[in-house]
Amino acid sequence: MIDTETAPRTHTETVRTQLLEAALAHAAFDGWSSSTFKKACDDAGLSSGDARNACPGGDLELIGFWSRQLDRQAGRKIVKAELAKMKIRERVTFGVLCRLEAIAPHEEAARRARARLLLPDAAGQAPQLLWATADTIWRAIGDTSTDANFYSKRAILSGVFGTTLSSWLNEDSADKPQAREFLDRRIQNVMDFEKTKGQILKLTADLPDIGGLLGRMRYGPGPRS
């Protein structure tokens, strides 16, 4: 079953939910394609016109819709946890695991979705979905950054989640011990990076604004009094 805790609020969402429920069963065997989209239309009792109005992007749009549903499902689970008792590393790890575990009922469909997103016509969509997942996790664990850290955190976590997802889906064991160990190593890399970045910022806190100095050099010293 897909996430149904939050009922669809619009006709478009209702149609997309119906299509997704029908498509997941086919995608596990046939992959994500125009054929799978058509079968989902037939199973959901929808005309091709209604289906295309709700999902003009076809199977790729359904994958995106599913990914956002999984993000919301994981986000709700994360915010309900006792995050105050966790260190930042534990929060990030917990957040990533919540999102990965949300895939559990449909792992084969997720494997096929990953393969579909590697095709040229999905080149722009895959990074966007990874970014959205990373953003969901950071917001859910309480990140309030608004400066450059906002972007660097999400860029780094996008990479962590994307590589861990591959490990997760490639492992047959239900407990995913190898993927969990892989995630621990990647999170450690992130923590090491943040520690190094913090040390550099501390060491350079009293130095002149190099960017400002270079900018003034580029345009000259300005008018003299």
Counting residues of the chain whose pLDDT is more than 90, the rounded percentage is: 71
What is each CA distance from 10 to 110, 133, 184, 187, in whole angstroms?
Answer: 26, 23, 40, 38
pLDDT band at 6 (very low <50, low <70, confident <90, very high): low
Q: Residue 192 corresponds to which tokens in the numbers above?
A: 């090491």
**142-160 residues labelled b (16+ CB within 10 A) or e (exposed):** ebeeeeeeeeebbebbbeb
* pLDDT (mean) for 141-168: 91
Whether residue 12 contacts residue 54, with contact meaning beta carbons closer than 8 Å, is answered with: yes
pLDDT band at 202 (very low <50, low <70, confident <90, very high): low
Q: What is the pLDDT of residue 214?
A: 42
Q: What is the pLDDT of residue 19?
A: 96
pLDDT band at 188 (very low <50, low <70, confident <90, very high): confident
Mean of the per-residue pLDDT values for the chain?
Answer: 86
Q: Is it the case that residue 196 has pLDDT exceeding 90?
A: no
Helix locations, 46-147, DSSP H: 48-54, 58-80, 88-101, 107-117, 125-140
Note the pLDDT tens digit of each residue in 122-138: 989 999 999 999 999 99
Its CATH class, for the domain covering 11-218, is: mainly alpha
Distance CA 53, CA 51 (A): 5
* pLDDT (mean) for 163-190: 93
pLDDT band at 181 (very low <50, low <70, confident <90, very high): very high
Distance CA 78, CA 76 (A): 5
Note the pLDDT tens digit of each residue in 59-110: 999 999 999 999 999 999 999 999 999 999 999 999 999 999 999 999 999 9
